[in-house]
Structure 1
Amino acid sequence: MIREFEGKNEQEAIAKAMEELQIELDEFDIEVVEGSKRGLFKKGNVKIRVRLEEEKSDFEDEVVTFIATLLEKMGYPSTVQVNYRDNAKIGVEIISDDSAIVIGRKGKNLDAIQLLVNVFAGQRKMGTKVVVDSENYRLRHEENLVRLAFRSAEQVMRSGRSRLLEPMNPFERRLIHTALNTMEGVTTKSEGEGLYKQVRISID
């Protein structure tokens, strides 16, 4: 299982995790996933990711086997393992010598694999989402999007003109909106039709 907690500093975030989960410090692993200093536009906080070890279920075995078999048939044999669990979501990591191909341009191959495995998973266990990753691509992509959001917002603040970002899927747009929700002086909204819309950043 994986959970995230925020605090003014790392110690406060850890204390919140221990209180809510009713566990001791040596019972879980901690990863600092976000830390920022308070600035002119941003509010300072620290976010940690807490991992608790759980036994793998038959459902997880089926998911791992499905992905491994799919990659084998594609000609890219890989090691597949569950690396986190979070309520109705599990994270699966693909370890492959052909990770660049598995990920694909802008993560499109990884997204296609994730779509297929979620169709399969939905037939086995309704309500559980499978997130597929390789070489920490999704985390790096999220970090790049957050940096893009703040960089673009600062340009908007300096120029006084709104900026329209490239088309993004719903998850990517949500990252932009969430990141800039902590920044004073700017506002965001999605524009366009269909699945891939654009985010406009404007002066608030």
Structure 2
Amino acid sequence: MNQITQTAPTKEEAITVALQKLGVSKQEVTITVLDEGKKGFLGFGAKPAVVQVTVRINEEKVEEVHQPEVETLEVKDETEISPSTSNEVDNLEGTNHLAIEETINYINEIAKEMKIDDLEINQTKEGKFVYLQLNSKKAALLIGKRGQTLNALESLAQLVANKFSNSFIIIKLDVGNYREKRQESLEQLAERMADKAVRTGNKVEFEPMTSFERKIIHNALSVRVDIETYSVGTDPNRYLVIEPIK
């Protein structure tokens, strides 16, 4: 390995870690700062610094490396050297692996800023979706009021994944199955509010919600013919309305 892309909370830390992994000194490499990063506020909105460290190779070493490669190519048959889509797949898988690894590192850094020192992250992949299950005794801090902290963390994690992945992946975060419990709670709330709207003959307005949560309520009530649902306002203050059909 003669090149590495490394992230860390600061540029200096990223360079130090990269040099340790490569086993070289600063005088033997070329350093390119891809992103200076930023601290953010209380860990939110923070961006890790990203550097690319490349080991410098002199001309004699280049000749020594290239010559065996030419000789090897001469003795290979067409099936051995023909282009293969498997190489592209391997590259994509490697890129996705890096993206997931850097995303997990970033979440851990934010957790440290929040004074959470027992965070465990388990990952599962289903096609383009990468599910990261966060576990901690301080789960409430990770979730926040009505999931606001978790939603913000998921958005930041997606940005980090986009930075390192060349193929499309979607990062989904959860803490203690909060997403499933929240969906069940919203579906039950939707039915109660729909019944109230029909009973009183007046429209019912919800508090501002994310587009994902508004969609849950829309879907839960889509089979009812006695009410209609629609959203009003602009994010982040966009809210859902249930109105009875008279």
TM-score by length of 1: 0.65
Q: How far 1:197 sits from its partner (Å)?
A: 1.1
Distance 1:86 1:196, change over 3 A: farther
* Paired positions, count: 149
Distance 1:112 1:193, change over 3 A: closer
The alignment partner of 2:236 has SS state of: coil
Q: How far 1:189 sits from its partner (Å)?
A: 0.7
Q: How far 1:109 sits from its partner (Å)?
A: 1.9
User: Which residue matches 1:129?
Assistant: 170
Distance 1:123 1:166, change over 3 A: same
Give distance in 2, aligned partners of 1:196 and 1:86.
Answer: 32
* Residues 154-196 of structure 1: CA deviation (Å, up to 9, x unaligned): 1112222211111112111111111110223211111123333
Contact 2:154 2:173 in 1 (8 A): yes
The alignment partner of 1:196 has SS state of: coil
Gaps of 5+ in 2: 1-92
Contact 1:67 1:80 in 2 (8 A): no
Residue 68, structure 1, aligned to residue 108, structure 2: yes
User: Which residue matches 2:183?
Assistant: 142
RMSD over aligned Cα atoms: 2.2
User: What's the % identity of the aligned pairs?
Assistant: 26
Give distance in 1, aligned partners of 2:144 and 2:236.
Answer: 20
Letter aligned with residue 127 of structure 1: F
Task: Tell me: higher relative CO, structure 1 or 2? Use CA pairs within 8 A at least 6 residues apart.
Answer: 1
Map residues 36-115 of structure 1 onto 2, 5 A cutoff.
58=97, 59-77=99-117, 78-82=119-123, 84-115=124-155
Give distance in 2, aligned partners of 1:62 and 1:89.
Answer: 16
Give distance in 2, aligned partners of 1:141 and 1:197.
Answer: 19
Give distance in 2, aligned partners of 1:86 and 1:182.
Answer: 29
* Residues 55-80 of structure 1: CA deviation (Å, up to 9, x unaligned): 99624333333322332343212111
TM-score by length of 2: 0.55
Letter aligned with residue 144 of structure 2: G
Map residues 179-198 of structure 1 onto 2, 5 A cutoff.
179-198=220-239
Q: How far 1:87 sits from its partner (Å)?
A: 2.9
Which has the larger share of helix?
2
Matching residue within 167, 187, 200 for 2:208: 167
User: Which residue matches 2:158?
Assistant: 118
The alignment partner of 1:183 has SS state of: coil
Give distance in 2, aligned partners of 1:128 and 1:146.
Answer: 28
* Residues 94-133 of structure 1: CA deviation (Å, up to 9, x unaligned): 1111111122222222122212211100112253221111
Contact 1:168 1:196 in 2 (8 A): yes
Give distance in 1, aligned partners of 2:141 and 2:231.
Answer: 31
Answer with 1 or 2: which has the greater Rg.
2
Q: How far 1:85 sits from its partner (Å)?
A: 2.9
